[in-house]
Every structure is written in structure tokens, then in C-alpha cells.
């Protein structure tokens, strides 16, 4: 597992407008402050990904997501109780920037059960961007080394974690219709 000092370093980098490569439950992700337009665009450029596609916001708890979403009590319960970990498409609030939601009226959000993500989001007191660590059309990185092989010195910090990953990005469901998107 990653050290406390490495998580603290990641928090400083994110709050200073940088980007990190970090482990999630399934694959390695790239992350930054969702409200930092420059950092988000830097990730999009590295991945060769259109801003129109939108990105996922990941948090350690629902409170951190609250400013970005508009959900009913029933939808809140779906988010909190779904297993396995699911990314939800939910109605975005007026505070959600277009560089996060893309051309969509909804935004993708996930509450992580992964200790590193929970601790990092607590330290920065907000959620972070979560997109798989891979250029467009390449397989998502499942190790820190693979992420580094993709992006070299273009990432401010690579967090190493030897835990096993599933290798499959999280399922994405529309919260209104329960339709599986991915």
C-alpha cells in the first residue's frame, strides 16, 4: 500500500494544480482537481481525449460529490448501496464545469471504497478526476510502471501500489434508467 507521505505529496500536487497517476480498485487512473481547468485539459491532452466525452469524478464519500450533483433520496441510496463499485451518470449541478461533464447533461460519479482514494479525498477535502491511465485506444494501465511507460515525465507523481487490480474499468450505469452504459 502507498505510504502516508506519498498520499500527502499527492494531495499537495493536486491542490497546486498538478496531476497524478494513482491506483483504483480496477486500473490505474489519472487524477487532478476537477475545478482546475488547466489540469483537466492537461489530462485530456495526454490521453488524446475529447473534452466532449466527459470524465469521472471520484470521491471518498457522498458529501464530497454533493456540490457537483443533483440527486433524489432514492438515487442517493442507489449510489451508497450498489455493489460492486459502480460509476453512476447523474444529473449535474450548475457548479459542474463543462470540462468535466463534456457535452452531457449528466456527470459520471463514483464513491470509492479504496483506502488510498478515500484518504486522498479527505486530505484535499474534495473529489478528484478519475480517468483510466492510458492514451486513447490503448489498454488501461494496471501497474504504476505501465502508467509511467505511457506518460513518462508528463505526470507530476506516480503512486505505486502492488495490490492486484481487476484490470476492468468500473461499470457505468445511468441512475435514472439503470441502463448499463459500460
At 166, the pLDDT band (50, 70, 90 cuts) reads low
pTM of the model: 0.92
Regarding predicted confidence, which is higher, 25 or 106?
106
Asked whether the beta carbons of 21 and 159 are under 8 A apart, the reply is yes
Domain residue ranges in the chain: 4-174
Residue 49: how many other CB atoms lie within 10 Å: 18
Round to whole Å and give the CA distance between 101 and 55.
Answer: 6
* Closest listed residue to residue 175, CA positions, set 62, 87, 113: 87
Rounded to a whole number of angstroms, the CA Rg of the chain reads: 15
Per-residue pLDDT, 2:
64
What are the percentages of helix, strand and coil residues in the chain, rounded to 5? 35, 20, 40
Residue 49 has pLDDT above 90, yes or no: yes
CATH of 4-174, one of 2.60.40.420, 3.90.870.10, 3.40.30.10, 3.40.50.410: 3.90.870.10
**Averaged pLDDT, 96-115:** 96
Amino acid at each position: 500500500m502507498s505510504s502516508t507521505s506519498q498520499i500527502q505529496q499527492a494531495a499537495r500536487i493536486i491542490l497546486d494544480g498538478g496531476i497524478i497517476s494513482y491506483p483504483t480498485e480496477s486500473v490505474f487512473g489519472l487524477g487532478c482537481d476537477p475545478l482546475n481547468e488547466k489540469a483537466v485539459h492537461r489530462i485530456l491532452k495526454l490521453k488524446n481525449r475529447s473534452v466532449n466525452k466527459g470524465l469521472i469524478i471520484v470521491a471518498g464519500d457522498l458529501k464530497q460529490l454533493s456540490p457537483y450533483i443533483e440527486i433524489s433520496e432514492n438515487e442517493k441510496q442507489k449510489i451508497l448501496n450498489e455493489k460492486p463499485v459502480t460509476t453512476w451518470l447523474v444529473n449535474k449541478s450548475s457548479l459542474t464545469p463543462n470540462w468535466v461533464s463534456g457535452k452531457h447533461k449528466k456527470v459520471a460519479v463514483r464513491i470509492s471504497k479504496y483506502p488510498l482514494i478515500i484518504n486522498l479525498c479527505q486530505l484535499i477535502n474534495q473529489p478528484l478526476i478519475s480517468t483510466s491511465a492510458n492514451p486513447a485506444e490503448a489498454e488501461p494501465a494496471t501497474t504504476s510502471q505501465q502508467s509511467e511507460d505511457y506518460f513518462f515525465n508528463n505526470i507530476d507523481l506516480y503512486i505505486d501500489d502492488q495490490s492486484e487490480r481487476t484490470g476492468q474499468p468500473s461499470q457505468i450505469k445511468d441512475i435514472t434508467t439503470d441502463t448499463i452504459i459500460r
